[in-house]
A = this chain, B = another copy of it.
Amino acid sequence: MNIEVIRQILETTVPFIHRSGLKVLDVGRGHVKLRMPFEGNGNHIGTMYAGALFTLAEVPGGGVFVTGFDVGKFYPVLKDQYIRYRRPARTDVTVEVTLSEEEIARITAEAEEAGKSEFVLEAELIDATGEVVAESRQTLQIRKHGM
């Protein structure tokens, strides 16, 4: 896996994400750790804007896809996403998501067989003091090209 290529894909391919300044801190098979900078993403009351936190929680779906699945054979679809805001964020915020080898194998097998497979990713968004500022849950689908 070329980590530099994956970093560039996640940080720069979508202009909306690129403008937020989101950074890839770590990446591996089925795994990403990302940071949303506070700088440029605050609101009028000095906390991180809700949409910036949502975007930080959204990108792991793409990160897990490009690191865990055959991008030549499958493509990802975001079906829905829920985010619960627990407390205001006043620092950079990070998120770390891992899809296990067992889950990758199960989803790949189902998508090979049925043409698609759905799974849920849950995440906690954590500020610089270690507090959980938000929790998210996204439903993703992996689909086979040409189906």
Q: Give chain B nearest CB distance to A124 CB in angstroms.
A: 14
Task: Say how many copies of this protein the assembly contains.
Answer: 2
| Interface range on chain A (Cβ under 8 Å from partner) | 20 to 34
Residues of A contacting B: mostly: mixed
Interface residue? A49 (CB, 8 A):
yes
Convert A69-84 into 0s and 1s, putting 1 for each residue whose CB lies closer than 8 angstroms to a CB of B: 0000001011111111
Near B by CB (< 8 A), chain A positions 55-112 give: 55, 58, 75, 77-85
**Given known contacts A80-B82, A82-B82, A84-B80, A51 and B58 CB-to-CB distance under 8 angstroms:** yes
Interface residue? A43 (CB, 8 A):
yes
Interface residue? A14 (CB, 8 A):
yes
